[in-house]
């Protein structure tokens, strides 16, 4: 029995898809190049079935885990990488990188305005409990956007004038902001400007939602470290949990001491039989990411046909998997999220409602019927219940299922 979607909405879907041939061809070309890059890395490192075996307890001598980290370093063009299921989410992974790279008296600079909500608690911008960077005597500054774009002069000035600046953090994706997500080329220009002003500064990039959307990664254009979550793009929808970082060897080592403890670092960390999923997820990641990007582009186009503002537009070149749709009022946000939930393979019967989500300063509504809890590479939609009532759509393990979810969201919006 087919999904209950009206003829009107199906016709809108056909029109939207017909308008996207050029976009889809561009996305497919990127996926093909990235797939070949991943395949070449697997072959170079002689991946064998023996690497899929897991370890327990301390996790010493986990050959599959260690080899996977070499593959990540190869793909991201870096000296080293750390890929672990012990990272509970992207924020935890980013935090380990920051605590490793900074010490009391240092200054952290966020280069594109305020970070997203959960990181604000880590830094100490908002009080989420003891143990923030601020509690440990680390100073914080941020360079505000100018006309909603990165302020290159402001970045150069702050790293030149403050000798305590040790780390500049670049958040690639928009989070719950309304600015555009950053392209790899833009990040490369930011790295050039920052390093010219102060070559001793370490540049870290929050790479969440951006992996494999382009053919280059930030570490290939000047960043010292990239950090992300395995239940987003690089896990390919199969990684059950975890995070990764790739970059300079010394930064990886310092972060590993915060992941565990000094003296142990990366040597411990059992994989509990998950290596196969991490390998297979990475292998699928370029294709799965492309499916999510196609879903976002389709959502943008069909919402444009309905008269809503979508950012990026349906014809824009993409730099991450997130699609903003400005709905303008709380009821429209709830309806859209209800429709996305109805399109989920898991918990499709559940009605999402706004709630006080840990780490956020306003109520958040989240539609996410996923095989893996919180997996952003699977179709989901969420929004802070505050002005301008913008919903953030991401994911789609397959374009076909992502498209169906979007059509159901439109159906819900158009209900009388």
Task: Give the pTM.
Answer: 0.96
**Cα gap 382→119, rounded to integer Å:** 18
- Say which CATH topology domain 7-34+285-413 has: 3.90.1150
What is the spatial order of strands in the sheet that 107-110 belongs to? 80-84, 243-247, 225-229, 202-206, 165-171, 107-110, 139-142
**Cα gap 65→293, rounded to integer Å:** 29
- What pLDDT, on a 0 to 100 scale, did the predictor assign at position 362? 84
- What pLDDT, on a 0 to 100 scale, did the predictor assign at position 177? 78
Q: In the numeric block, which tokens belong to residue 414?
A: 């158009």
CATH of domain 51-281: 3.40.640.10
- What pLDDT, on a 0 to 100 scale, did the predictor assign at position 217? 98
Between the CA of residue 204 and those of 3, 96, 196, 214, 373, what are the distances in Å?
44, 12, 16, 18, 27
Q: In the numeric block, which tokens belong to residue 313?
A: 């537009």
120 phi and psi angles, rounded to 5 deg: -60, -35
**Cα gap 238→226, rounded to integer Å:** 21
Domain ranges of the chain: 7-34+285-413, 51-281
Mean pLDDT in each 10-residue stretch from start to end of the chain (416 residues)? 91 98 98 98 98 96 97 98 97 98 98 91 92 97 95 98 97 86 98 98 98 98 98 98 98 98 97 97 98 98 97 97 96 96 96 84 90 95 92 97 98 90
């Amino acid at each position: 029995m087919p999904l209950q979607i009206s003829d009107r909405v199906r016709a809108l879907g056909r029109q939207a898809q017909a308008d996207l041939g050029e976009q889809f061809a561009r996305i497919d070309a990127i996926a093909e190049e990235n797939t070949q890059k991943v395949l070449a890395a697997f072959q170079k490192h002689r991946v064998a079935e023996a690497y899929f075996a897991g370890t327990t307890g301390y996790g010493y001598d986990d050959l599959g885990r260690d080899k996977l980290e070499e593959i990540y370093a190869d793909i991201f063009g870096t000296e080293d990488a750390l890929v672990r299921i012990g990272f509970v989410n992207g924020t935890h992974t980013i935090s380990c990188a920051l605590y490793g790279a900074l010490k009391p008296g240092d200054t952290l600079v966020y280069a594109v305005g305020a970070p997203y909500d959960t990181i604000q608690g880590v830094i100490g911008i908002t009080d989420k409990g003891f143990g923030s960077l601020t509690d440990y005597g680390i100073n914080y500054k941020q360079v505000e956007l100018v006309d909603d774009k990165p302020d290159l002069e402001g970045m150069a000035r702050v790293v030149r004038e403050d000798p305590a600046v040790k780390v500049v953090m670049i958040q690639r994706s928009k989070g719950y902001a309304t600015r555009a997500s950053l392209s790899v080329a833009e990040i490369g220009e930011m790295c050039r400007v920052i390093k010219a002003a102060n070559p001793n500064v370490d540049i870290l990039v929050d790479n969440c939602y951006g992996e494999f959307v382009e053919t280059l990664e930030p570490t290939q254009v000047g960043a010292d470290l990239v950090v992300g979550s395995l239940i987003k793009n690089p896990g390919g929808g199969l990684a059950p949990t975890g995070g990764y970082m790739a970059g300079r060897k010394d930064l990886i080592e310092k972060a590993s001491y915060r992941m565990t403890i000094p003296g142990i670092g990366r040597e411990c960390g059992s994989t509990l039989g998950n290596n196969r999923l991490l390998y297979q997820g990475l292998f699928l990641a370029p294709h799965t990411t492309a499916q999510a990007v196609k879903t976002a582009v389709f959502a943008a186009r069909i919402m444009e046909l309905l008269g809503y503002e979508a950012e990026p537009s349906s014809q824009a070149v993409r730099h991450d998997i997130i699609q903003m749709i400005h709905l303008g009022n709380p009821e429209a946000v709830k309806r859209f999220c209800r429709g996305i939930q109805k399109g989920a393979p898991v918990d499709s019967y559940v009605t999402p409602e706004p709630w006080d989500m840990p780490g956020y300063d306003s109520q958040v509504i989240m539609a996410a019927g996923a095989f893996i809890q919180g997996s952003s590479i699977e179709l989901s939609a969420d929004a802070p219940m505050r002005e301008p009532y913008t919903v953030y759509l991401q994911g789609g393990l397959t374009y076909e299922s992502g498209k169906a979810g979007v059509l159901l969201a439109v159906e819900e919006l158009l209900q009388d």
